[in-house]
């Protein structure tokens, strides 16, 4: 069963999502050549704390491992779940995906974006643009009466029409009290498949798109997912509330 949020839960989701989005916006502004991903993670940790929230990633358990960082910072061929490191210095021409998941007052907000570091290759710039557009193409399908597969199908079709590929091993998800609730929201699939969308669902829609082939593997740190062919990968994500008047993006930053 996909959880349906009541008005009180939606109020809390709005708050945690606004915090997640504001942290993401401020962290994006810190990206520049010469900074380490460790420093970015520390800035992210401090930003999250400044809103009285906590990182939902820090200590997140998967197969007896606990995620050690506060944010997920994935550079170039890293798809998701990269761990900030003093050894990883950002250079002109890199891209970096920032994934921020916060918990506040019992509810979770989840969002991500990929940004260029200085000047990047033209095809990589296209990858970023198409992946962000794919997110909005997917969100547009989060209509009451549609099915989850309509989101998946729209994202896949759009991405592949531009010659890029969608990652299959990781998926979007419902989000609320837990970081991962039902349903799973793959970035590939058939129109009309999956559960029907009802008002009051909070969904994390998150295309992960590779410039080359879709296959991925996990590094020996047990977390970092990288493209198998070493090609760059991009990731954009919003938490969305489904309503009778259409999808509403909850991960919108607060005015400064």
Point out which residues bind ligand MF3 (CB under 6 A). Answer: 57, 60, 67, 72, 81, 99, 101, 110, 179
Which CB, 68 or 212, lies closer to ligand MF3? 68
Which CB, 80 or 226, lies closer to Co ion? 80
Q: Residue 72's binding partner, choosing from Co ion, ligand MF3, none, with beta-carbon cut-off 5 to 8 A by kind?
A: ligand MF3
CB of 182 to ligand MF3, least distance (A): 14
CB of 245 to ligand MF3, least distance (A): 27
CB of 208 to ligand MF3, least distance (A): 10
Which CB, 62 or 119, lies closer to ligand MF3? 62
Which CB, 15 or 110, lies closer to Co ion? 110
107 touches 13 (CB < 8 A)? yes
Q: Residue 67's binding partner, choosing from Co ion, ligand MF3, none, with beta-carbon cut-off 5 to 8 A by kind?
A: ligand MF3
Burial tier of 97 (Cβ tally within 10 Å: 0-12, 13-18, 19+):
buried
Which CB, 15 or 120, lies closer to Co ion? 15
In sequence order, the 6+-apart residues with CB closer than 8 A to the CB of 149 are 189, 190, 191, 192, 193, 194
Q: Residue 214's binding partner, choosing from Co ion, ligand MF3, none, with beta-carbon cut-off 5 to 8 A by kind?
A: none
Sheet arrangement for strand 165-166: 165-166, 208-210, 233-235
Residues in touch with Co ion (CB under 5 A): 110, 204
Strands 216-218, 225-227: pairing is antiparallel
Greatest CA separation found in the chain? 48
CB of 76 to Co ion, least distance (A): 20
Which CB, 60 or 164, lies closer to Co ion? 60
3 state DSSP class of 217: strand
Q: Residue 158's binding partner, choosing from Co ion, ligand MF3, none, with beta-carbon cut-off 5 to 8 A by kind?
A: none
DSSP assigned state of 255: P
CB of 57 to ligand MF3, least distance (A): 4
In 3D space, the residue among 169, 165, 250, 162 whose CA is nearest the CA of residue 205 turns out to be: 250
- CA dist., res. 191 & res. 213, Å (int): 23
CB of 44 to ligand MF3, least distance (A): 12
- CA dist., res. 71 & res. 235, Å (int): 14
């Amino acid at each position: 069963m996909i959880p349906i949020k009541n008005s009180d839960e939606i109020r809390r989701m709005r708050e945690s999502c606004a915090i997640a989005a504001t942290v993401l916006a401020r962290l994006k502004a810190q990206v520049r050549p010469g900074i380490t991903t460790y420093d970015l993670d520390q800035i992210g940790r401090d930003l999250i704390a400044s809103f009285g929230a906590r990182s939902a990633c820090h200590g997140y358990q998967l197969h007896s491992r606990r995620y050690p960082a506060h944010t997920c910072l994935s550079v170039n061929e890293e798809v998701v779940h990269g761990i900030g490191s003093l050894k990883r210095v950002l250079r002109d021409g890199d891209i970096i995906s920032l994934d921020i998941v916060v918990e506040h007052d019992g509810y979770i907000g989840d969002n991500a974006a990929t940004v260029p570091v200085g000047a990047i290759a033209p095809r990589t710039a296209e990858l970023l643009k198409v992946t962000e557009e794919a997110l909005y193409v997917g969100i547009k399908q989060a209509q009451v009466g549609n099915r989850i597969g309509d989101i998946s199908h729209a994202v896949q079709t759009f991405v592949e029409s531009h010659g890029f590929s969608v990652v299959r091993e990781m998926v979007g998800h419902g989000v609320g009290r837990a970081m991962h609730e039902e349903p799973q929201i793959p970035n590939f699939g058939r129109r009309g498949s999956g559960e029907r969308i009802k008002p009051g669902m909070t969904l994390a829609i998150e295309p992960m798109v590779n410039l080359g082939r879709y296959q991925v593997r996990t590094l020996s740190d047990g977390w970092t997912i990288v493209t198998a062919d070493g090609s760059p990968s991009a990731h954009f994500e919003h938490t969305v509330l489904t309503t009778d008047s259409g999808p509403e993006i909850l991960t919108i930053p607060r005015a400064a």
